[in-house]
Chain A
């Protein structure tokens, strides 16, 4: 079955530590996205990538970094510069802007819940 796999499901970060959240998809989608959800809020866009080796900052990119070396993988690193990392993180993918992007729905993973120790 095609889908998006996020790991781990739960993650704990110590002060001053960088942690990396994994996102893998086997849907052959060009575009991938990272969102953050805080209690009572919607999904806020952190970073997105429309194609391999290219990515753009979203609305809340500070304190985060990404890479897109392979089509199927889009890992998110939460750096020590992110002072309030406790949140639920969702990864998504879609067919992409180059092939009818606006009307292509996004497919989501199950999320990673990050907490500070």
Chain B
């Protein structure tokens, strides 16, 4: 089973803080890296899909970078808001044509 690690496991920040978390994955047999946001009582929703080394994606205050050679991706949230509270999941898409999810980073933003 592919080893996908996310850190930290959980994070508590104050409203307005900026934060970042890490996703590490094996760099071999790599096709793409997906990030999802999973809010309580909702379904996971796709944030970004990245395929190229050095790729950078941005959606509002959230951005992500990808390093396929060393097998990691960073997710950044600038000026966290309470509505950013969620679990953030990363998942590489590999040659078996499916995603392997990490265990996620649970973010709580205090007003």
Decide: B97 and A110 in contact? CB cutoff 8 A: no
A102 within 8 A of B: yes
CB-based A-B contact count at 8 angstroms: 62
What 1/0 flags go to B14-49 for Cβ under 8 Å of A? 000000000000000001101010000011111001
Q: In the complex, A3 Cα to B52 Cα: how many Å?
A: 29
Apart from A42-B102, A105-B34, list 15 A-B contacts with CB within 8 A: A35-B101, A41-B103, A42-B89, A43-B44, A59-B1, A59-B100, A90-B43, A101-B93, A102-B32, A102-B93, A103-B32, A103-B49, A103-B93, A106-B44, A108-B43
Decide: A90 and B102 in contact? CB cutoff 8 A: no
Given contact pairs A59-B1, A90-B44, A102 touches B51 in the complex (Cβ within 8 A): yes
Decide: B32 and A110 in contact? CB cutoff 8 A: no
Decide: B98 and A48 in contact? CB cutoff 8 A: yes
A2 within 8 A of B: no
The 8 Å CB contact of B98, one of A40, A45, A105, A111, is A45
5 residue pairs from A and B, CB less than 8 Å apart? A42-B104, A45-B98, A59-B1, A102-B93, A104-B49
Residue among B32, B44, B89, B96 with the highest chain A CB neighbour number at 10 A: B44
Interface size on B, residues (CB 8 A): 26
* Chain B residues in 8 Å Cβ range of A97: 97
Q: In the complex, A109 Cα to B1 Cα: how many Å?
A: 25
Q: How large is the interface on A (under 10, 10 to 19, 20 to 34, 35 or more residues)?
A: 20 to 34
Q: In the complex, A103 Cα to B55 Cα: how many Å?
A: 13
Decide: A33 and B101 in contact? CB cutoff 8 A: no
B99 within 8 A of A: yes
User: Smallest Cβ distance from A46 to chain B, in angstroms?
Assistant: 11
Within 8 A of A (CB), among B70-105: 89, 91, 93, 96-104
